[in-house]
Structure 1
Amino acid sequence: MSKNISGEIGDNDIVISGIAGYFPESINVDQLKEKLFNNGKFITLCDNTNWNRGHLDVPKLIGRLPKRNQFDSSFFGINTQQAANLDPMTRNMIERSFEAITDSGLSPEDVKNTRMGIVMGSVFSESENMWIYKGSGFGILGHSRTMLANRVSYWLNCYGPSYALLSGDTNGIEGLTLASEAIRNGHCESALVGVVSFEILPEMSHHYKGLNLLAEDGNNRSFDDDASGFALSEGIVTMYLQKAKDAKRIYASIVHSQFECYGDRKSGYIVPLEYPLTSLLSSFYQQCGIDPSLISYLEADGSGIKSRDTIELNAVAKVLLNNRQSPLLIGSIKSNLGHTSAASALISVVKVLIAMEAGKIPANNNFNKPSQQVPALVEGRLKVVTETMSWSGGLAAVNSVGLSH
């Protein structure tokens, strides 16, 4: 992404012109920004009786959304019974879509009856099977995950492509890539991209704990030698994409976006191998024709899983540190607000957009000692931003590494 590459953004460049979201302890991007720059608390003790059922020994520190069960059904033209049978992820996706459109300087009326594309991603829906026991036929419409995208298309009467993307932690990068390509290839005039992940029931934490992925103390120690896993959090993000010539505001241009699913039986399913990630990064910069040494900031995945962070940063060092004259600044918003699963990649993008707008990079949390398994960290060629620092913008990169489904 770039706020400004060489002083100009071309008319046909794809830009992010509107953003919206709910984040742990933050009901919009402005609150997220305030907390990031003031070391606000995102991970809190969950005292919900449903979460603290005795037979499930799961971490009680998680990142929860402050409001996710409120919905103005009449505003969106959905009758009360239908609204009651909508998956809460779908309800929130409709609301955040409205907010992203208005953030771009448009109104819903401006995009109605247009070829606007919709790409909405998720991985798990914890309410997906509950409707079966309610006895209402509206449950079929409300809890089909196709409705994450199709409900928004229906509300706005848009006739561009409408995809519900079922993937994993890399959902956001995949959605941005598909939407950008659809605009470039003329399949749609503009696009909404969204991701969502809710943690309603403790059973999901129970399963993550069974894979030894959770930090018991709720601290994501991205890149740290004492990293022990991640805190699980909720999040939802939507972004409105347009060609620059059509945009009323521009947060940043999408210079290039690329994803790849790789598998190799030499490794376990959870922890990737280094060589495919190195290959993907090399291919990425070759395809977009950018010298990796020009990247001024990298928002890394930084999951807090030590083995995964090691592989990511060692691959980064091989590709991005050649011919660099200064350390590469890196960070991960997961160190602040935890891992939001399907929503994590776009939340990383939101952090970069906040930094571009503010002219400063928020500090990483929980970084005390660089991982000894990453030589570039130990040697200072990769530099974790541990205090808010001024930043003039330029080219920024966002990594996303994780399970895909």
Structure 2
Amino acid sequence: YMRKVEKVAIVGISGKFPGAESIDDLDRIYSNKIDCIKPFSERRIELLKLDKTKKYFDVAYLDGVEYFDYDFFNISRQEAACMDPQQKMLLELACEAIEDAGYSLKSARGSKTSIILGAHNSHFFDDYLEESSGFAAIGNFLDTLAGRIAYCLDLHGQASIVETACSSSLYAVYEACLRLNAGEADMALAGGITLEFRAKYDDFAEQDVLGIISPRARCKTFDEEADGINLGEGAGLVLLKRYEDAIRDKDSIYAVIRSVSSNQDGARSNSLAAPSSAAQCEVMIDAWEKADLNPEDIGYFEAHGTGTKIGDPIEVLGITEAFRKYTDKKQFCPIGSLKTNISHLGSAAGISSVLK
């Protein structure tokens, strides 16, 4: 099963993104070419305990991260106050994805549903809790992001966190597809989240040790003006089932994942932090071959598209080399990246692209 991945259906979706209170808002953002990067509101400055007299960098941040219906999940107010907002948001999005697929939360209880999430440390525990406790520890462990969903919704599949930098949530989808094909799960919740509570929003130059943050706070992907990434927050989940099971159960199907592939640059890049066109070419070809797909039939290519002077040319080269192995046709497949609208969402970047 590791070589040939059978088709997987996306039957439920949920998400919160800059400028998008619900998943339905994404169509409006992309269709109208909306820039979701904005100055900090007074409310967000207050929540982050920032100096109100300073001028801050524009960021694609989420509104309403402080709200949570703890009664709904049978969580005490005391415990909820100690929970990383990432845990709270993912709990809500898990419920939305399951219900979006047409299943009640009651019917999902006891099911062999896996949870695989990409995430990073939001630093909520370090910077915003005044005292430690058992509630605070459990509410802020990175690995309990998945465990909390399994516990509250009584889901019995594997629950795990993956950290592979910007590809974390996309790798979570990859892992979920493998688990479904291996028969280890009947359904899988996969995705990721990025909420950031530590960044020095008044002086990114001081913390930009890699030299990749745009001084204009805008990501100009595949543009001659491209000068780096900008920061953002977001979260998204997909509920996955084996395609034949989704057909059997008469599920509504948003999209079908025909194959997945994953690899590593190894020593093929100029540095540990740099990408490799050869590795990107290799992983695309592997995915196409698994799906028995003719690349000439591809209608759109959603790229990582960091907007950096090193990343974009390498990515375009990798894509071009992959297509050239199959066709001499040119300019038949559009390419784009959501980062021009909603920023670089870190651990949620990959799932955001899937949902787009």
* TM-score between the two structures when normalised by the length of structure 1: 0.78
1:14 matched residue in structure 2: 8
Cα 1:55–1:247 change in 2 (3 A) is farther
Cα 1:74–1:207 change in 2 (3 A) is farther
Counterpart residue type for residue 219 of structure 1: R
Cα 1:152–1:52 change in 2 (3 A) is closer
Note if contact 1:86-1:142 (Cα within 8 Å) is conserved in structure 2. yes
2:354 matched residue in structure 1: 349
Deviations 1:78-129 (A, max 9, x none): 1111111111100100001011111111111121011111111112322143
Cα 1:129–1:51 change in 2 (3 A) is closer
1:188 matched residue in structure 2: 185
1:209 matched residue in structure 2: 208
Note if contact 1:293-1:324 (Cα within 8 Å) is conserved in structure 2. no
1:119 aligned to which of 110, 116, 125: 116
Q: In structure 1, the residue corresponding to 2:24 is in which secondary structure?
A: helix
Please state if 1:27 is matched with 2:21: yes
Once the 2 structures are TM-superposed, how far is the Cα of residue 219 of structure 1 from its aligned partner?
1.6
Once the 2 structures are TM-superposed, how far is the Cα of residue 16 of structure 1 from its aligned partner?
0.5
Please state if 1:283 is matched with 2:251: no
Task: State the alpha-carbon separation in 1 of the partners of residues 151 and 328 from structure 2.
Answer: 49
Note if contact 1:260-1:280 (Cα within 8 Å) is conserved in structure 2. yes
For structure 2, which runs of at least 5 residues remain unmatched after alignment?
1-5
Q: In structure 2, the residue corresponding to 1:306 is in which secondary structure?
A: coil
User: More displaced, 276-285 or 74-83?
Assistant: 276-285
Task: State the alpha-carbon separation in 2 of the partners of residues 82 and 219 from structure 1.
Answer: 38
1:310 matched residue in structure 2: 313
Note if contact 1:173-1:257 (Cα within 8 Å) is conserved in structure 2. no
Counterpart residue type for residue 190 of structure 1: M
Once the 2 structures are TM-superposed, how far is the Cα of residue 53 of structure 1 from its aligned partner?
5.0
Task: State the alpha-carbon separation in 2 of the partners of residues 208 and 111 from structure 1.
Answer: 44
Where in structure 2 are the equivalents of 1:91-102 lying within 5 Å? 91-102=88-99
Q: What is the percentage of aligned positions where both structures have the same residue?
A: 25
2:102 matched residue in structure 1: 105
Task: State the alpha-carbon separation in 1 of the partners of residues 146 and 266 from structure 2.
Answer: 29
Cα 1:155–1:139 change in 2 (3 A) is same
Once the 2 structures are TM-superposed, how far is the Cα of residue 38 of structure 1 from its aligned partner?
1.9
Where in structure 2 are the equivalents of 1:2-401 lying within 5 Å? 13-47=7-41, 48=45, 50=48, 53=51, 60-130=57-127, 133-203=130-200, 205=204, 209-243=208-242, 244-245=246-247, 246=249, 248-264=251-267, 267-321=270-324, 322-327=326-331, 328-351=333-356
Note if contact 2:263-2:279 (Cα within 8 Å) is conserved in structure 1. no
Deviations 1:219-240 (A, max 9, x none): 2110111210011110000111
How many residue pairs align between the two structures? Answer: 339
Deviations 1:232-270 (A, max 9, x none): 110000111112223521000111112222232861222
User: More displaced, 129-138 or 158-167?
Assistant: 129-138
Counterpart residue type for residue 229 of structure 1: G
Q: What's the C-alpha RMSD, in Å, of the aligned pairs?
A: 2.3
Task: State the alpha-carbon separation in 2 of the partners of residues 135 and 297 from structure 1.
Answer: 49
Once the 2 structures are TM-superposed, how far is the Cα of residue 182 of structure 1 from its aligned partner?
0.8
User: More displaced, 34-43 or 91-100?
Assistant: 34-43
1:383 matched residue in structure 2: none
Counterpart residue type for residue 98 of structure 1: C
Once the 2 structures are TM-superposed, how far is the Cα of residue 293 of structure 1 from its aligned partner?
2.1
2:3 matched residue in structure 1: none
Task: State the alpha-carbon separation in 1 of the partners of residues 68 and 30 from structure 2.
Answer: 27
Once the 2 structures are TM-superposed, how far is the Cα of residue 326 of structure 1 from its aligned partner?
5.0
* TM-score between the two structures when normalised by the length of structure 2: 0.88
Q: In structure 2, the residue corresponding to 1:118 is in which secondary structure?
A: strand
Once the 2 structures are TM-superposed, how far is the Cα of residue 54 of structure 1 from its aligned partner?
10
Deviations 1:263-310 (A, max 9, x none): 328612222232222222222323332222221110011111121110
Cα 1:144–1:177 change in 2 (3 A) is same
Q: In structure 2, the residue corresponding to 1:90 is in which secondary structure?
A: helix
